[in-house]
Amino acid sequence: MQPKRKKALYVILGIVFLIFISFLLFKGDQLIGSFLYNSNALPVRAVHIDGVLTQVTKKQIADITGKVCGERNIATCPVNELKNEIMKEPWIAQVAVAKQMPDTIKVAIVEHVPFAIWNDNGLYDAKTKSIFYPDMSSLHRNFVKLGAYSDDLCTEVYETAIAFVRKLDNSPYQLVELRLDNVRSYTITLENGVRLIIGRDKDQGIKRLDRFIRAFPKADVDINDVDYIDLRYDVGFAIGRK
C-alpha cells in the first residue's frame, strides 16, 4: 500500500473511532442521566435530623421533607425549596440541608431562643437579633415585654432594656415592660404597674433612673398610689397619682 493511501486510511479510521467514542459518551450520559432522574432508581428513603429541638418536632421536619422530596430521586430533590419550606416554621432560625448518597436527606436545625415578647404578638431572639411570630399560646415563661413602632428598632430597644434592668437591679423596682413611642420616648412599666416616662436618650435615661432610685423614697409618696412618674426633668420629677 502506498504511503499516502495508508496515511489516508489511518485518518479515516481515526475519524470513525472518534465518532464511535463520541456516540458511546453521548449514550452513556443519557443512560446515567436517565438512571439518576428516575425516581425508582435512587429514591429518598431516610431523613436524618440534627439539632436541639424544643418547639418543633422531628416528625414535623420529616413530614415537610416528605412533601417536598417524597417519590423523587435524591438527585432531583430540590434542596433550596426544602430549606424554604422548613423556614416557614416560625420557631426555626436556621436550617441546613444536604444530600447523603444513596438515599438520605440530612437536615440541621437551629431554633429561635426567645428573650422578650415583642409588641404583644411576637418574640425577640437576641442571638439572631430578629423578631419571629409563633403561636404564643405555647409559651410557659414570663418574659419582659418590649415594643416600638417599627420592628427594625427591636435590637435598640432590647439593648436599652438591658441597660435599664441593670440600673434597677439593686433597687426595689423591677422592669416588666419597655416601650419606645413614635417620638422616640421610652416608657418603663414596673412590676406594680407604675409607668416611668424616661425620655429619648438611653444614657440620660440611666441618669434619670439613678435619680429616681435615690430620690423617690424621700418623696413621702406611696408608690402604689402612683399612676406614672415623669422623669424628663433636669431636676426632680413629676408624679401623676391614680
Which residue in this structure is represented by grid cell 413530614?
63
- C-alpha distances in Å from residue 197, one per residue of 172, 187, 203: 18, 5, 14
Tell me if 46-111 shares its fold with 116-241.
Answer: no
What CATH number is given for 116-241 in this structure?
3.40.50.11690
Compute CA 186 distance to the chain's CA centroid, rounded to the nearest angstrom: 26
pLDDT in tens, 37-82: 544 567 878 889 999 999 999 999 999 998 988 777 888 888 999 9
pLDDT in tens, 79-112: 999 999 999 999 999 999 998 888 889 999 999 9
Domain 46-111 class? alpha beta
Residue 26 pLDDT more than 60?
no
**Who has greater pLDDT, 53 or 8?**
53
pLDDT at residue 28, rounded to an integer = 46
Rounded (10°) CA dihedral 83, 84, 89, 91: 70
**The model's pTM:** 0.77
HSE value, Cβ hemisphere, 13 Å, CA-based, for 122: 16
Please return the burial class of 92, using the count of CB atoms within 10 Å of its CB with bins 0-12, 13-18 and 19+.
buried
**In the chain, where are the structural domains located?**
46-111, 116-241
Round to whole Å and give the CA distance between 40 and 46: 15
Q: At what angle do helices 79-86 and 58-69 cross, to 10 degrees?
A: 140
Query: Interior CA angle at 170 toward 165 and 172, to 5°?
Result: 90
**Who has greater pLDDT, 18 or 152?**
152
Round to whole Å and give the CA distance between 44 and 77: 8
Helix (H, G, I), strand (E, B) or coil at 91: coil
DSSP conformational letter for 58: H
